[in-house]
A = this chain, B = another copy of it.
Amino acid sequence: MSDTREVEALRAELTARDYRITKQRMKIVAELASVRRYVTARELHARLARARAGVGLATVYRTLETLQAVGAASARPVARGEMGYLFCPVAHHHHAVCTKCGKVEDVPCRSAQKFERALEADLRFRLTRHSLDFFGVCARCS
């Protein structure tokens, strides 16, 4: 799979931004990259604990924050006051989330941009950012 390449790219990005490459960070990144759905910090922490990774929950939170800062993870509220995190190192795109298995497909942004341009003219809004998520049932779950 392409996880390895993506993780390598992320490692370079972290270094470029003066973040240090620590064992804990890389374990968290590897685990997050291997799960192609939104996971909570607690869930990620539990997975790492199961793998005897010895990473603290606070470190998981801190790393997830770092990953968001470098644009390698996206966050979304998933339950009562709990956030879900997804590894998504690609520049800018959207997600189609399976409501049964949680699987996430990447969706390119082109069409949304077309929508956005029409909107700018209509509303006289200078748009800088948008957030778009689709929910449904993936091919396998159907």
Q: Is A17 an interface residue (CB 8 A)?
A: no
A residues lining the B interface (CB < 8 Å): 77, 81, 83, 96, 98-99, 105, 107, 111-112, 115-116, 118-120, 123-139, 142
Q: Are B136 and A128 in contact (CB under 8 A)?
A: yes
Nearest Cβ on chain B to A30's Cβ, whole angstroms: 26
Give the contacting residue for A129; candidates B107, B116, B134; CB below 8 A. Answer: B134
- For the complex formed by this chain, how many copies does it contain in all? 2
Q: How far does the alpha carbon of A115 sit from the alpha carbon of B134 in the complex, in Å?
A: 11
* A99 and B128 contact, Cβ closer than 8 Å, known pairs A107-B123, A123-B105: yes
Nearest Cβ on chain B to A105's Cβ, whole angstroms: 5
Nearest Cβ on chain B to A43's Cβ, whole angstroms: 17
Closest partner residue, chain B, to A107 (CB atom): B119
